[in-house]
Amino acid sequence: MATVQAPSPSAGPADTGVTQVAVVGRSPWNLFWSRFVRDRAALAGAVLIGELIVLAIVAPLVAKMVGHGPNELFPLSVHGGIYLPTGPSSHFWFGGDQNGRDVFVRTIYGARTSLVVAFVATGFAMIIGVVLGTIAGYFGGWIDTIISRVIDIVLSLPLLLFAIGLATVCSTTATGCLGGLLQPGLSLVSGIIALFTWPYIGRIVRGQVLSLREREFIQAAHAMGASDARIMFGELLPNLVAPIVVYTTLIIPSNIIFEASLSFLGVGIPQTTPSWGRMLSDATANNLFTYAWWMMLFPGVFLLLTTLAFNLVGDGLRDALDPRGSRR
Amino acid sequence: MRGPPQAAPAPVPSGSDDWDMWRYVARRLLWVVFVLLVISAITYVIFFIMPPVNPVVLFAGKSPTPTILATVSHQFGLDKPVWEQYLLFVKHVFLGDQYGWPGLGFSFQYRESIRSLMAARLPVTASLALGAALVWLVIGIPIGVASAIKRRTLVDRLAMGFALFFVSAPVFWLGLMFLWIFWFRLGWAAGTGYYGFTTNGFGTWLNHMVMPWVVLALLYAAFYARMARGNLIETMGEDYIRTARAKGLSERRVIFRHGLRSSLTPIVTMFGMDLGGLMGGAIITETVFNLQGIGQWAYQSVGTGDIPAILAVTLVTSFAITFANLVVDIVYAYLDPRVRYS
Q: Does B196 touch chain A if contact means CB atoms closer than 8 Å?
A: no
Identify which of A162, A169, A280 has the shortest CB distance to residue B172. Answer: A280
Among A263, A259, A261, A253, residue whose Cα is nearest residue A309 = A253
pLDDT reported for residue B101: 67
Low-confidence ranges of chain B (pLDDT < 50): 7-11, 14-15, 342
3-state secondary structure of A177: strand
* Per-residue three-class SS string for B43-85: HHHHHHHCCCCCHHHHHCCCCCCHHHHHHHHHHCCCCCCHHHH
Is pLDDT above 70 for A201?
Answer: yes
Ranges A190-204, A299-313, B15-29: which has the least confidence: B15-29
Compute the distance between CA of residue B179 and CA of residue A285 in angstroms, rounded to an integer.
Answer: 14
Please, what is the end-to-end C-alpha distance for chain A in angstroms? 8
Ranges A73-77, A243-247, B131-135: which has the least confidence: A73-77
Compute the distance between CA of residue A212 and CA of residue A218 in angstroms, rounded to an integer.
Answer: 8
Q: pLDDT category, A54, cuts 50, 70, 90?
A: very high
Q: pLDDT category, A11, cuts 50, 70, 90?
A: very low
Is pLDDT above 90 for A135?
Answer: yes
pLDDT reported for residue B147: 92
Q: Does A211 touch chain B if contact means CB atoms closer than 8 Å?
A: no
pLDDT reported for residue B50: 67
Assign residue B153 a region: left if phi > 0, alpha if psi is -120 to 50, beta otherwise? Answer: beta
Compute the distance between CA of residue A61 and CA of residue B3 in angstroms, rounded to an integer.
Answer: 36
B-interface mutation test, from A257, A278, A304, most B Cβ less than 10 A away? A257
CB within 8 Å: B317 and A164: no
Q: Does B50 touch chain A if contact means CB atoms closer than 8 Å?
A: yes
Whole-number Cα distances in Å, B189 to A150, A229, B136: 44, 60, 19
> Measured between CA atoms, how close is B165 to chain A, in angstroms?
7
Residue A47: HSE in the Cβ half-sphere, 13 Å Cα cutoff: 7
Bigger pLDDT: A126 vs A76:
A126
pLDDT reported for residue B1: 53
pLDDT reported for residue A328: 44
pLDDT reported for residue B158: 92
In CATH, which superfamily holds the domain spanning A44-325?
MetI-like (1.10.3720.10)
pLDDT reported for residue B182: 87
pLDDT reported for residue A86: 76
Q: Does A265 touch chain B if contact means CB atoms closer than 8 Å?
A: yes
pLDDT reported for residue A131: 95
The proportion of chain A whose per-residue pLDDT surpasses 70, expressed as a percent, equals 85
Q: pLDDT category, A172, cuts 50, 70, 90?
A: low
The DSSP code sequence of B222-288 is HHHHHHHHHHHHHHTTSHHHHHHHHTT--HHHIIIIIIHHHHHHHHHHHHHHHHHHHHT--HHHHHH
CB within 8 Å: A158 and B313: yes
Length of chain B: 342
Interval A243-259 mean pLDDT: 91
Contact present, A276 and A303 (Cβ < 8 Å): yes
Compute the distance between CA of residue B10 and CA of residue B273 in angstroms, rounded to an integer.
Answer: 13
Compute the distance between CA of residue A322 and CA of residue B10 in angstroms, rounded to an integer.
Answer: 20
pLDDT reported for residue A257: 92
Identify which of A300, A311, A326 has the shortest CB distance to residue B164. Answer: A311
Task: Give me the residues of B, 122-151, that contact A with CB < 8 A.
Answer: none
3-state percent helix, strand, coil for chain A, nearest multiple of 5? 70, 0, 30
Q: Identify the CATH number of the domain defined by range B118-335.
A: 1.10.3720.10
pLDDT reported for residue A7: 47
CB within 8 Å: A161 and B283: yes
Per residue in A137-154, pLDDT (tens digit) is 999 899 999 999 999 889
**What are the φ/ψ torsions at residue A226 (nearest 5 degrees)?**
-70, 145
ipTM of the complex: 0.85
CB within 8 Å: A169 and B169: no
Among B331, B295, B315, residue whose Cα is nearest residue B35 = B315
Crossing angle of helices A293-321/A40-57, nearest 10°? Answer: 130
Whole-number Cα distances in Å, B33 to A279, B66, B94, B275, B320: 41, 40, 11, 20, 12
User: Which amino acid appears at position A230 of this protein?
Assistant: R
Contact present, B304 and B58 (Cβ < 8 Å): yes
Bigger pLDDT: A6 vs A97:
A97
Contact present, A133 and A203 (Cβ < 8 Å): yes
Contact present, A283 and A296 (Cβ < 8 Å): yes
Is pLDDT above 50 for A243?
Answer: yes
Compute the distance between CA of residue B214 and CA of residue B195 in angstroms, rounded to an integer.
Answer: 17
Query: Residue A257: which residues within 8 A CB-CB, separation 6 or more?
Result: A303, A307, B1, B170
Statement: the pTM of the whole predicted model exceeds 0.80: yes
Query: Residue A98: which residues within 8 A CB-CB, separation 6 or more?
Result: A83, A85, A282, A285, A288, A292, A295
Among B209, B177, B206, residue whose Cα is nearest residue B192 = B209
pLDDT reported for residue B339: 61
CB within 8 Å: B229 and A327: yes
Pairs of CB atoms within 8 A across A/B: 149
> Measured between CA atoms, how close is B192 to chain A, in angstroms?
11
Q: pLDDT category, A5, cuts 50, 70, 90?
A: very low
> Measured between CA atoms, how close is A286 to chain B, in angstroms?
12
DSSP B100: B
pLDDT reported for residue A308: 94
Among A107, A96, A127, residue whose Cα is nearest residue A197 = A127
Compute the distance between CA of residue B148 and CA of residue A178 in angstroms, rounded to an integer.
Answer: 49
Q: Which residues of A touch B43 (CB under 8 A)?
A: 162
Q: Does A175 touch chain B if contact means CB atoms closer than 8 Å?
A: no
Assign residue B5 a region: left if phi > 0, alpha if psi is -120 to 50, beta otherwise? Answer: beta
**What are the φ/ψ torsions at residue A181 (nearest 5 degrees)?**
-65, -40
User: Which amino acid appears at position A201 of this protein?
Assistant: I
Bigger pLDDT: A287 vs A232:
A232
CB within 8 Å: A300 and B310: no
CB within 8 Å: B180 and A265: no
Identify which of A264, A293, A311 has the shortest CB distance to residue B168. Answer: A311
pLDDT reported for residue A180: 62
Query: Residue B120: which residues within 8 A CB-CB, separation 6 or more?
Result: none
A82, containing H or E segment = strand A82-83
